[in-house]
Structure 1
Amino acid sequence: MIRPIRTSPPAELPVSLEEFKAQAVIDFADDDALAGILLDAAVAHLDGYTGVLGRCLVSQDWAQGYCDWADRLQLPFPDVSSVTVSYRDENGADQTVDEDLFEIVDGARGAHVVFRDEFSGPSLDDDREFPITVYFTAGYGAKDKVPGALRVAIMMLAAHWYAVREAGSGVAVSTVPLGFDALIAPYRRVGV
C-alpha cells in the first residue's frame, strides 16, 4: 500500500469565508485574501491524509494503490460513501471488480473493502508495483453535514491566526485557542 492520492478536492470548504468573517467579526473586505488563506490553512490542519483528524471533512475523491489481493483492503479514512476497485490484469488490460463482490465496512482505523466469498482475486500484471487501485469518496458529505463542532474549531483556529500574526515564543502565539482540542477530540481517529 502506498500513500493515498487525492484525485478530486472537495467542492466546497466546511466553512465559507462569510461564515468565518462573521465569527471573527471582520466586517470589511480589505482582509478577504488573508482571511481566505487562514481559513484554507485551518481546514488543511484538520482535513485529509495530512490533517490531524485522520479523516476527510467535505466529501472528496481519493485513490489508493495495493500490490496484491487480500480478503480486505484497508482504506486510510472512515466515512467512505463509494468505492470502485480496479486492477491491471496479467495481460496489461485495465479491469474493474463488480461491486456485488465486495462491501465497505467501517473499522477503527478506517474503512475496509471486504471481498465476498465468491470473489477470487484474478491474476495481476507483475510489471506494476501497485496493479490494484481503489478509487473512493470519503467525507461527511456536503459542508452542512460536517459536525458543527468541527466547523467551529476551524473558525476558532483561523480567527486565532488572524489575531496573532507573528511567530514567537509567547503563550498567545504558541497555543491553539482554548477549547479547540476539546472540539476536535471526539472526531479524531486514533490508531489501535
Structure 2
Amino acid sequence: MTLKIITGPTTEPVTLDEAKAHCRVDGTDEDELITALIVAARQYCEQRQNRAYLTQTLELTLDRWPSFPVDIPHPPLVSVESIKYYGTNDKEYIWATTEYFVDTDSEPGRVALNYAKTKPTVTLRPANGVKIRYTAGGSDVAQTVKQAMLLLIGHWYINREAVLTGTISKEIEFAVAALLNIDRVWPT
C-alpha cells in the first residue's frame, strides 16, 4: 500500500502572522523560513494523527483488490474521484461508480461493494494494480492541532539544529504528542 499526495492543500492551519507572533518575530526577514516551518509542522502533525487537515487530493495504491469495505486513510474522506485498476497488460480500467458505495460518514471513510456487486475479475498486474484517488480534509482544524503546530514551529525556529538541553526537548515532545493524541486516528 502506498499513499501519495496528488494535490496538497492551498492554505495552512496556522497563518504566517500567527506563527510570527508566537515566535515573537517582527519584520519580514524570516518569512521564508517561518513559512517552511509552518508547512513542515502541518505535515508532521498530519502524519502523527494519520489525518488530512485541509482539502487535498490523495491516491491510495494497492497491489491487489482489498477486502471490502476498505478503509481510506487520512480522514476525513470527502469524496472518491475514481477507482482505477490495471490488467496484466497494463491496460487501465475505470471501475464504474455504480459498483461501489463511498461511506464518508465513517472515520476513516470507506469504500464498500454495492448490493449484489462484486469486484472486477480482470487479472491485475503484479504490483500497483488498484489506484483509489480521493479528496480528504476539510476547512476547519482543531485548536489543539494549531497549538501543537505552534509549539513545533517555535521550537524549530529557536533550535535550527537537533538539540538536547535537559528536559526541554522532552517537554515539547510530550506536549505535542498529548495535543495530537486527542483526535488521532490509530492504524488498524
Q: CA deviation at 1:176?
A: 5.0
Q: CA deviation at 1:69?
A: 5.4
TM-score scaled by length of structure 1: 0.81
Match of 2:157 among 162, 168, 171: 162
How many positions carry a matched residue from both structures?
A: 184
Task: Verify the 8 A CA contact 2:59 2:131 in the aligned structure 1.
Answer: yes
Number of the residue aligned with 1:58 = 54
Task: Verify the 8 A CA contact 2:51 2:74 in the aligned structure 1.
Answer: yes
Number of the residue aligned with 2:175 = 179
Tell me which amino acid in the other structure corresponds to 2:96: V
Number of the residue aligned with 2:148 = 153
Q: Distance in 2 between matches of 1:182 and 1:162?
A: 21
CA deviation string 1:16-47 (max 9, x = no partner): 21221122221121111221222222112112
Number of the residue aligned with 2:84 = 87
Task: Verify the 8 A CA contact 1:5 1:62 in the aligned structure 2.
Answer: yes
- Where does 1:1-192 land on structure 2 (aligned, <5 Å)? 2-47=1-46, 51-66=47-62, 67-68=64-65, 70-88=67-85, 92-98=91-97, 101-104=100-103, 110-127=108-125, 129-139=127-137, 141-142=138-139, 145-171=140-166, 174-175=169-170, 177=172, 179-191=175-187
CA deviation string 1:132-163 (max 9, x = no partner): 22111111x12xx1112111211121012212
Gaps of 5+ in 2: none
Task: Verify the 8 A CA contact 2:3 2:60 in the aligned structure 1.
Answer: yes
Task: Verify the 8 A CA contact 1:61 1:136 in the aligned structure 2.
Answer: yes
TM-score scaled by length of structure 2: 0.83
Q: Distance in 1 between matches of 2:141 and 2:80?
A: 21
Runs of 4+ with >3 A deviation? 88-91, 105-108, 125-128
Q: Distance in 1 between matches of 2:78 and 2:98?
A: 13
CA deviation string 1:57-86 (max 9, x = no partner): 112111112312533222222210101342
Query: What's the C-alpha RMSD, in Å, of the aligned pairs?
Result: 2.6
